[in-house]
Structure 1
Amino acid sequence: MRTTALAAVLTATALVPPAVQASETAPATQTTRTTQVASAPRAAPVRLGACGTGQLCLWGKPDFTGARQVHELSTIDIESCVPLPPAGQAQALANRTGRPVTTYQSAECAETGEFETYPGGGTWVPQSPYQVRAFKVWEN
């Protein structure tokens, strides 16, 4: 009978996590020990790209790196498709135009590919989910 009782206790304790075992068996006056889990190293935060008020800024690489293109409302036809130069695809952007801007995967602003509209009050996108090849600025 001893071996049966011992086997039952061993089986029961094997099914209970160590933290629960320690808290159930520790006297009320003794504090229990918790296990510290090491966290994965965190990546450094992305710095926002420099983009002035009233501008739409596009970068060729994620995280506001690579060649930067700057577009201002004075040089853009509102609600017209503005294709980027063939070598000027963008992967990051900042919209500080004060107007909504839609970016397109298509160089013709076709809605058959990916597209996304960003508010104009100050939107920074460190990595677009697609290569930006064109954009439209909209009226408010």
Structure 2
Amino acid sequence: MRTKQTQLRATITAAALGIAALAAATAPSAAALAPAGAAPHAGAAPPGRAGCGPGELCLWTEPDYGGTRTTYELTGLTTESCTALPEGSSAQALANRTARPVTTYQSAECEETGDFETYPGRGGGTWAPESPYQVRAFKIWES
């Protein structure tokens, strides 16, 4: 009896994994469904973008979460202060998984004469696969 239960459990598990893999392989990505210039994706992490955990701000050097990822946490930052990326570096994609709004800046000094944009920090986070400018600094706000 135990062997039949084990075999049945293994068959059900294999079928569920196969269905999940098929759904992931055939489902269009959120980026493919969004019109050009659409707002950043809010909610669960886009497929294949794991690695940016709750409470983190993650910045990638390339669009579509490519290149090198840099992660920041509130424990290492001062809120409402300008945090410049290391000199000579920039980011082109980001995920705000903090519970606070984050403003990114084209300027390394957080000057508002260049481009800037605020990404809310709620739910599963805000995912931006491509920034409209090179991000060189950011501020995390209290609320």
User: Is the TM value for this pair above 0.5?
Assistant: yes
Q: Which residue of 1 aligns with 2:54?
A: 53
C-alpha separation in 2, matches of 1:49 and 1:81? 26
Identity %: 64
C-alpha separation in 1, matches of 2:79 and 2:57? 13
The ranges of structure 1 where at least 4 consecutive aligned residues each deviate by more than 4 angstroms after the TM superposition are none
| Equivalent pairs, count | 97
Gaps of 5+ in 2: 1-27, 32-46
Instruction: State whether structure 2 residue 134 is matched by structure 1 residue 128.
Output: no
Shift of 1:48: 5.3
Q: Which residue of 1 aligns with 2:4?
A: none
Q: Is the 8 A contact 1:48 1:124 kept in 2?
A: no
Q: Which residue of 2 aligns with 1:26?
A: none
Q: Which residue of 2 aligns with 1:97?
A: 98
Structure with the largest fraction of helix = 2
C-alpha separation in 2, matches of 1:96 and 1:76? 15
C-alpha separation in 2, matches of 1:59 and 1:49? 11
Q: Which has the higher contact order (CA 8 A, sep 6+)?
A: 2
Instruction: State whether structure 2 residue 66 is matched by structure 1 residue 65.
Output: yes
- Structure with higher Rg: it is 1
Instruction: State whether structure 2 residue 78 is matched by structure 1 residue 80.
Output: no
C-alpha separation in 2, matches of 1:58 and 1:95? 9
C-alpha separation in 1, matches of 2:77 and 2:63? 24
Gaps of 5+ in 1: 1-43
TM-score (structure 1 length as normaliser): 0.66
